[in-house]
Structure 1
Amino acid sequence: MPITLITGANKGLGFETARRLIGLGHTVIISARNTGLGQSAAQQLGARFVQLDVTDDASVTRAAQDIEAHEGRLDVLINNAGISGPHRETAQLTGADATEVFNTNVAGIVRVTQALLPLLQRAEHPVVINVSSGMGSFAATHDPERPEGQFVAPLYTASKAAVTMLTTQYARGLPSIRFNAVDPGYTATEFNGHSGPQTVLEGTDAIVTLATEAPEAGTGRFIDRFGPVAW
């Protein structure tokens, strides 16, 4: 039975991914910054909760120690936690704004992955899935026919481009672990004020695919629910 950790899983895509993977036989650990919200979500799902703030080294270390003590290994890590950043005009963005977004969306993945590497390396076929976005794709953001071509969000889009490149580099640097990135698509969640045309079921299709596919499926890829994403 695969043991799976999902960060930022108390709502939205993380919550739905947990629900689906539990239904497919995974032992799921969900994490969130807020203990109350995380525990409530875990109770609804029948999952185990571990408090984890991806921006806090001590919190990440404690979470890794907790999983070490309870499960002893990790088969699938889904780096889902992320923020959109400040909603203000481009000319008003600051270095502090950039630091906050990249600290969560990019450095957070590095913190969590690094802390959990020993547990992943105990799995027979370890998998890391990084939730990126089509908003980080040059191809998508330069296509005026796509939703990604309609928005201006410099820090979020740049951070997601970094997530995708980080994924390909981890895939090369750690070939014993399968690293892939996913674009959930424009999905109706609290993250975007429920404005997306996709349901959370559709938005989690690609994540679930990567979490359940055969080991020979490959590493260093970027996919959405329809297949490979140009970026």
Structure 2
Amino acid sequence: MVSSSSSATALAPLGPQVTEKLTRDNYVLWKAQVLPPITGAQLLGILEGSIKDPPEILEIIKDDKSKETVSNPAYSTWLAQDQQILAFLFNSVTKDALGQVATLASSAEVWVALENMFFAQSRARVTHLRMQLSTLKKGNMTTSVYFNKMKAIADELAGAGKKVEDDEMISFILTGLDSEYNPIVTSVMGCTDQISLSELYTQVMAYESRLEMLHDNSGPQYQSSANAASRG
């Protein structure tokens, strides 16, 4: 016999909302923020669909062998938990993303829909950003502008959940330097101690200043030598 009376399970709080709302570029980071509170509340099975919704109505057999239909308390508990997750997801996405899933009724449906919409976009974005990072050249940019551009790309990658470690970032920066910076590249590559990004920035800035000074000084000297040779 199934009892028709049961107290609802208290809902575990999911904690504060995520700091990075879901966009087309940060799905990986967003997912990394969303999963821990849901897992911690022991609701992951509902989110991923492995815990299906139980029957809403139960048929019980009474002592006199007659049958009676009653509401299933397990369904009420499941529904409350599912809607708690659903509200958490809705509050963690941007307005544009919400518009794509607002009509879906369960957290599992929303989870699958968001993955289908944003995972491929996020992966493509990460690939594009890493290509930018590996191909960007300093060229005529100042050291400050060059480093800021590289850092902006790295920040976007971090926002997509793919942080670039300092040693890899240094390799990208060195690769983008022109041949006139070979002494710096050789020095850093030959150094046995790990150099920080700030130290590399300082070295490149100092070297750039030295190059500019030599360039400014060589102009008049070269011109005087050329004039003397002409007069001779």
User: What TM-score, normalized to structure 1?
Assistant: 0.20
Higher Rg: 2
Give the strand-richer structure, 1 or 2.
Answer: 1
Q: Return the structure number with greater relative CO, CA threshold 8 A, min gap 6.
A: 2
User: What TM-score, normalized to structure 2?
Assistant: 0.20
Give the helix-richer structure, 1 or 2.
Answer: 2
